[in-house]
A and B are shown apart, each in its own frame.
Chain A
Amino acid sequence: MNWAIKLLRFAALSSSLMLSLWLMAQSDTSKTILLDATVVKDSSETKRIGISPILSADTFQLTGYNLTEALQLIPGISVMSTGRGNSKPVIRGMYGNRILVLLDELPFSNQQWQDEHGLGLNAMALQKIEVVKGPQGVLYGTEALGGLIHFHTYAAPLPGTASFSSISSFESNGNALGQQLAYAQAAKTRWHRLWLSLENSADYRDGNGNRVLNSRYDAYRFRYSTGRQYQNRTSSTSFFTSLNRNGFIFQDLNTFLIPDEIGSRNLVRNPNHMVVLNRLDHEEVWLLRKTDIVKFNASVSANQRMENEGSGKISLNMLLLNAQYRLRWDRTLSTRSKLSIAQSTLLESNTNLGARILVPDSRQLNLNLGAVYTYLLSSTSTLEAGLGTGYTLISTLAKTGTAVPIQQEIGPFHKQSPFANASVSLKKSFAGAWKAELQTASGVRVPNLAELASEGLHEGVYTYEIGSPNLKNERLYSLTASLNYERKKVNVQVSPFVQRFHNYIYLAPDGSDWFGFPVYRFKQDGVNQVGVEGFAAIQFQSKWLAQMGIAWTKSQTDQGAFLPFTPPLKVSPSLRYGNVQIRNWGFSFQANAEVLAKAAYLFPEEVGSSSYCLVNLVLESRYNTSKTSWQFTIGVKNVLNEAYFDHLSRLKNFGVLNPGRSVNFQLKLSRAKK
């Protein structure tokens, strides 16, 4: 009952905040405004690097790629994984709470405070992905330190249309099955969209043909969106629910788990991580005086993480509830200048329901207010400057219950963290084909709950982790340049960056032990990071497209240690033969390689990885009629059946290799009616 009262109080507070903001927006209509300034400006698929690359649905729905794997197509993006069903994106070596994941303008949180907590999304309902590298704290506050990944779901269908699509897929390595259904319908002013997605996989085999026990996963997702177009306003509401489960692989799994039959997808008996997510979103967009936009987004969500870590029952069981909103106002000030202002508020509650308690129950408030001013210096030059400020309050509660580790160091606390951010960027076009951009920005990240308050045995790796409520805010100063040469058939880009972290937080052993388990503590140090990303594309003989991406980064603390999980040098060439059209048939073929160097920068005691090369092939055919489109894709991942560790795979610590060769089939049927 106590819990229900808290929930109601929580809902009431967030509702009143949302209402007050809505009233503010209503009362301010006398001012003139302007279109969104940071939304996607260039959807070119070849724009893979620089500060804001974008992936379209066609790219991330490539057969055999899950959502985070598809993001790896962008130089500078890599994937941290704990098995195939559990991965999260990494931008320039930053991951977890150092990058912000947005789903339709609002943060999407899947308890990112621990390395083995995955992204929790797949490609269902996503129309495009915007990746912004470097600090974005001015408009987005804490966490947008290393960059942000913005997942945009499909917008309203065209009025008077209806469409249906089905995507069926099969992957040979693990016998993974996937099915996705989508339906959309729009009348003159109202529209509806519906999605359903199912996927599951048995254990995969590595490049040596060995079964990786318990690498299975499944996921079930549902989303419903509805919206309405008014004269100067659009309104939409979405509900998303998902269940994700993945087999949990850890140090001594093979010592007690008896392998079940090959092809088994059973996740009830085996250790697994299960996440149930429900999220309700609402968006209002007002178009005022034709040139101005006010956008209001709000959501409430419940994220329950349940982990069976080999004890045969759920031991870690955490419920994260949050309510949040974001109000953004874009205004044209003159023909040369515009202003964007954004205010966001997040209320979050974390409650332990299980026997294992690593981080305590907590309540959190995040506030952020920021503004970006854009000024056209000339027809070829743009200056953009931003200022932002924010405040975070974290309150933890006392750990209770017999299962709380004895001799606790950290008691309940309240921690207030104000912060401020600034950014300046200059963009210039010259000599017709050249574009240059220079961006300098600061970023702040308030330490997360695990870093401040964790105290307990980390499952699977059996280290005793202790946080510190006295940790300072992480601060980042970043300088990024981007030079782009683009002619009709040639595109070359290079983007070097230099970043300086103050109070970078990392986990390191302190030499002591807790009842025989090594103690790790969160420490802080300055870190210097340098890196470069490059991309080149050339089109020849009208149907051929050759591309090459490269990314390198190095991060070193003031004590001389390299940061853990630093992505090694990566070169990714690809060759595409496409746009072959024979009557209603279309064909394309693509071969690409991922060449990874040996991990050169290792954190003390970190397991290294050797160099390797993965070759992937994709053959795609389409058949179109006036109303129906069939798309059949066959792909082979890791053609050479390389036996390798990805350096950012957490399973490398247990000697578990990444997947070997896999043949993938995908059939997509789309039918539209006007």
Chain B
Amino acid sequence: MKKRVNLVLLTVLILGLYSCERDEGILPEINFKTGGSYISTSDSVNAGAAILIGIEAKKTEDKDVLKKFTVTKSINGAAGVTVISHDLSGADGDAYAYDYNETVENTSGQTNTYTFTVTNRDGLVNQVSLDLHIR
């Protein structure tokens, strides 16, 4: 009987070793380029204007490389549509830069939301977005 009690205690001890802390994960990094003609915050633009939004993304852990970069565009709060989808590999998996060019619509009063998303190998996602109001 005593041996069995010891066996149970041993099991409880082993089970207790599992009480680990949750690993929250570090998201990949993504930021707007700033300076020059880059738009990096929500703003108003003229109808039919050409816009330039620059993105810089990089991995945050040694081997947790970037896998995918997407740009989605939403008009007036509607569901976003993927306009750019790039698979990343090689050097782009470590750090990736992208310049998004577009000529906005001639629809005054419209608001376009641009969301830039980067996903790493572990499926961890980070994104930045901005709204452009068309004057």
A401 to B123, alpha carbons, bound, how many Å?
14
Query: Which residues of chain B are near A355, meaning CB under 8 Å?
Result: 23-26, 122, 124
Name A311's contact: one of B15, B61, B90 (CB within 8 Å): B61
Q: Which of the 9-residue segments A173-181, A511-519, A529-537, A628-636 touches chain B?
A: A511-519
A302 to B26, alpha carbons, bound, how many Å?
27
Q: Which of the 9-residue segments A209-217, A315-323, A440-448 touches chain B?
A: A315-323
Interface residues of B in 3-21 (CB under 8 A from A): 3-4, 7-8, 10-11, 14-16, 18-21
A617 to B27, alpha carbons, bound, how many Å?
53
Name B21's contact: one of A7, A241, A311, A353 (CB within 8 Å): A353
**Interface residue A313 (Cβ < 8 Å from any Cβ of B):** yes
**Interface residue B120 (Cβ < 8 Å from any Cβ of A):** yes
**Which chain A residue lies CB-closest to B4?**
A237
Known contacts being A314-B23, A462-B67, is A516 close to B82, with CB within 8 Å?
Answer: yes
A218 to B16, alpha carbons, bound, how many Å?
25
A85 to B86, alpha carbons, bound, how many Å?
34
- Assess the A402–B27 pair: CB atoms within 8 A: yes
**Interface residue A256 (Cβ < 8 Å from any Cβ of B):** yes
- Assess the B18–A319 pair: CB atoms within 8 A: yes
Return B28 CB to nearest CB of chain A, in Å. Answer: 11
Query: Which residues of chain B are near A354, meaning CB under 8 Å?
Result: 22-23, 25
**Which chain A residue lies CB-closest to B89?**
A255
**Interface residue B125 (Cβ < 8 Å from any Cβ of A):** yes
Most buried by A among B64, B121, B124: B121
- Assess the A403–B124 pair: CB atoms within 8 A: yes
Query: Which residues of chain B are near A302, meaning CB under 8 Å?
Result: 14-15, 18
Known contacts being A226-B3, A278-B15, is A401 close to B65, with CB within 8 Å?
Answer: no
**Interface residue A456 (Cβ < 8 Å from any Cβ of B):** yes
Interface residues of A in 305-346 (CB under 8 A from B): 309-315, 317, 319, 321
Q: Size of chain A's interface in residues, with CB distance under 8 A?
A: 45
A222 to B122, alpha carbons, bound, how many Å?
33
Query: Which residues of chain A are near B22, meaning CB under 8 Å?
Result: 352-354, 400-401
Return B102 CB to nearest CB of chain A, in Å. Answer: 18
- Assess the A353–B20 pair: CB atoms within 8 A: yes
- Assess the B25–A403 pair: CB atoms within 8 A: yes
Return B125 CB to nearest CB of chain A, in Å. Answer: 6
**Interface residue B117 (Cβ < 8 Å from any Cβ of A):** yes
Interface residues of A in 91-149 (CB under 8 A from B): none
A300 to B18, alpha carbons, bound, how many Å?
14
A516 to B72, alpha carbons, bound, how many Å?
10
- Assess the A312–B23 pair: CB atoms within 8 A: no
Query: Which residues of chain A are near B11, meaning CB under 8 Å?
Result: 239, 278, 280, 300
Q: List 7 A-B contacts (CB under 8 A).
A: A226-B3, A256-B63, A314-B23, A321-B15, A401-B22, A515-B125, A516-B119
Which positions in A face B, CB cutoff 8 Å? 3-4, 7, 224, 226, 237, 239, 241, 252, 255-256, 278, 280, 300, 302, 304, 309-315, 317, 319, 321, 352-356, 400-403, 405-406, 456-457, 459, 462, 513, 515-517
